[in-house]
Chains A and B, each alone.
Chain A
Amino acid sequence: NAGVTQTPKFQVLKTGQSMTLQCAQDMNHNSMYWYRQDPGMGLRLIYYSASEGTTDKGEVPNGYNVSRLNKREFSLRLESAAPSQTSVYFCASSEAIAGRYGYTFGSGTRLTVV
């Protein structure tokens, strides 16, 4: 029962470098999400995808792009990393946008930008 798989688990980038965080779910969920978690800030939604082929901005989208590659995969790209993007990133999925059964989360990617 893999659930939501995120790669990589840890990453260190230099300012200005780019990278893509990968996320895949095997639960046949329609909706997927990217959050960042910072100390004292709780969870903040970056982007989400209500269904395959659609993506929308969350509350903190600046500096990020996303791709819903297919129903299973939803990637997050940092085009030019900045120290302010140092955070822990979580991917999540659900059967519908505000699913009756909540979201299933991945184990996170800890990103440090130096």
Chain B
Amino acid sequence: GNSVTQMEGPVTLSEEAFLTINCTYTATGYPSLFWYVQYPGEGLQLLLKATKADDKGSNKGFEATYRKETTSFHLEKGSVQVSDSAVYFCALARPNFGNEKLTFGTGTRLTIIP
């Protein structure tokens, strides 16, 4: 079946540091890949997505590239801010596979220290 494996947290960084949160997946076919962000006390918000191999999703300074050869979709940001403190979820979906639903990773908690 499908699965998403995320870097275990929590991750603590200083402001302006470089961020990488690893995400790898297992799925047949060509899934769409997503990163969601959950700020404290809020629901999940779509951060970025990529729907085919080699696509790069980007938003709010975050980027992730769909790498089919390594089955990865790592989230990166060049210079993090305190406001980036949140929980980040990687997810995949296969739109053409019947009744299959979105598969989420377990989430990575990120804390940025001023």
- Judge whether A100 and B51 touch: CB under 8 Å: yes
Give the interface size bracket for B toward A. 20 to 34
Contacts of B114 in A (CB 8 A): none
Is residue B70 contacting chain A, with contact meaning CB distance below 8 A?
no
Interface size on A, residues (CB 8 A): 25
| Closest B residue, CB atoms, query A91 | B43
Is residue B73 contacting chain A, with contact meaning CB distance below 8 A?
no
Contacts of B36 in A (CB 8 A): 102, 105
Contacts of A45 in B (CB 8 A): 101
- How far is the CB of B87 from the nearest CB of chain A, in Å? 9
Contacts of B94 in A (CB 8 A): 98
Contacts of B102 in A (CB 8 A): 94, 98-99, 102-103
A56-B94 Cα distance, complex, nearest whole Å:
19
- Judge whether A108 and B101 touch: CB under 8 Å: no
A94-B43 Cα distance, complex, nearest whole Å:
15
Interface, chain B (partner A; CB < 8 A): 32, 34, 36, 42-46, 49, 51, 89, 91, 93-95, 97-102, 104-107
Interface, chain A (partner B; CB < 8 A): 4, 33, 41-43, 45, 48, 50, 56, 90, 92, 94, 96-108
Offer 15 A-B interface pairs, CB within 8 angstroms, sorted by A. Answer: A33-B101, A41-B106, A42-B89, A92-B44, A94-B102, A98-B94, A98-B101, A100-B51, A101-B46, A101-B49, A103-B44, A105-B36, A106-B43, A107-B43, A108-B42
